Amino acid sequence: MLYVDTCHPTLGPRLRCYACSFSSVDSDQSCMTITNSTNTVSCPHEFCTIMRQEFIDPAGVVASFTRGCEQKPDFLNHEIVDPTFRTFYRACTSDLCNIGNGIQAITGGNLSPSPQYLGPNLLVPGTGTPGNGAIAITSSSMMICFITLVMFIN
């Protein structure tokens, strides 16, 4: 009898990532610096990540810090600022690439997005500010739509 396991396919080599975390209430903040004793994991996902969250006031004080692995990170290499926190998100796709303090973008190796996009950039103009022609374009577009509608009705 031939047995084929379709529920548990053979996995290829897994990504290895550093994995540790701390928050502002923890006395052990060794996760901030990679050493020979920093924990590593065999990651079943696509990305090694860093999330560093700092307080806005007092500036630069780390509220929480995480190194780990994720399938679909919320952000790849991005900084988000709100009234309370400045949060740095970093992601990469090569073994043990989630190094550094989380402030600088991760460089080298296979960086996200993966695969790399080589197509043209799409520039989408915004609404602009008054005086740069944005209102005139909007008004003329509305006038054309209105005239077309009137001609269609008649």
Task: Say how far apart CA 125 and CA 103 lie, in whole Å.
Answer: 30
Task: Say how far apart CA 138 and CA 142 lie, in whole Å.
Answer: 6
Task: Say how far apart CA 83 and CA 75 lie, in whole Å.
Answer: 19
Residue 2 has pLDDT above 50, yes or no: no
153, containing H or E segment: helix 134-153
pLDDT in tens, 118-141: 445 444 555 544 544 444 444 444
pLDDT in tens, 11-52: 556 899 999 999 999 999 999 999 999 999 999 999 999 999
A 10 A CB-CB count for 18 gives 21
- What are the angstrom distances between the C-alpha of 105 and each of 50, 63, 74, 91, 92? 10, 19, 15, 8, 10
Q: Supply the pTM of this predicted model.
A: 0.63
| Strand ranges, E, within 7-141 | 15-18, 20-23, 40-43, 47-55, 62-70, 78-81, 85-92
